[in-house]
Structure formats: C-alpha cells, structure tokens
Amino acid sequence: MMRLAISLFLMGTLMALSACGTTPGCRAASTGMLGAGTGAAIAAVAGGPIGWAALAGGATGALAGAATPPQAASLGPSPFCN
C-alpha cells in the first residue's frame, strides 16, 4: 500500500511539473530529466530494474514535455535551459 501511495505521489508530481520551460526543447529537457528521476524512484520502491525505468520515464517525460504547450501548466522558465 505504501509503494502505491509513493508511486501515485511521484506520478502526480511529474504531471504537475510537465510543462516547465517556455520552448518545446526546454520542456522536453526538464521533463525528461524529471521523468527519468521519477521512473528510477518508482522502480527503486517497487523493486524493478532502475535503469530501464529511468530510460522509460525519461523518454515519456521528454515526449510529454515537447508536446505540451507552454500555456497548459507553465511554472516559469526551466532551470535546465534558458
């Protein structure tokens, strides 16, 4: 039950930050990094392969960030690119 709660919290955090940055490249970079971290954390809690989960999370985050318009949920400029 605790693993599920942590996983849901991490996925919610990823969705809340999915549009950081003002350009598609910045959003792809920031959400890709966030997705990789979230995937690795979920795999660590669930006992799965951390490397593959980080890869899948990073790819999913990058695609979602690039596809999200900046007006959808912008939290300002990305800390990763200007």
Q: Locate 62 and state its tokens.
A: 């990058």
Q: How many domains does the chain have?
A: 1
pLDDT tens, position by position, 31-61: 888 888 888 888 888 888 988 999 999 999 8
Q: Locate 13 and state its tokens.
A: 């955090």
Q: Which domain, by its residues, includes 26? A: 22-67
At 30, the pLDDT band (50, 70, 90 cuts) reads confident
Residue 44 maps to a domain: yes
Residue 77 maps to a domain: no
Q: Are 77 and 39 in contact (CB under 8 A)?
A: no
Average pLDDT, the chain: 77
Residues whose CB is less than 8 angstroms from the CB of residue 19 and which lie 6 or more positions away in sequence, other chains included: 27, 31, 65, 68, 69, 70, 72, 73, 74, 75
Q: Locate 51 and state its tokens.
A: 């490397």
Q: Locate 60 and state its tokens.
A: 């999913």
pLDDT at 80: 55
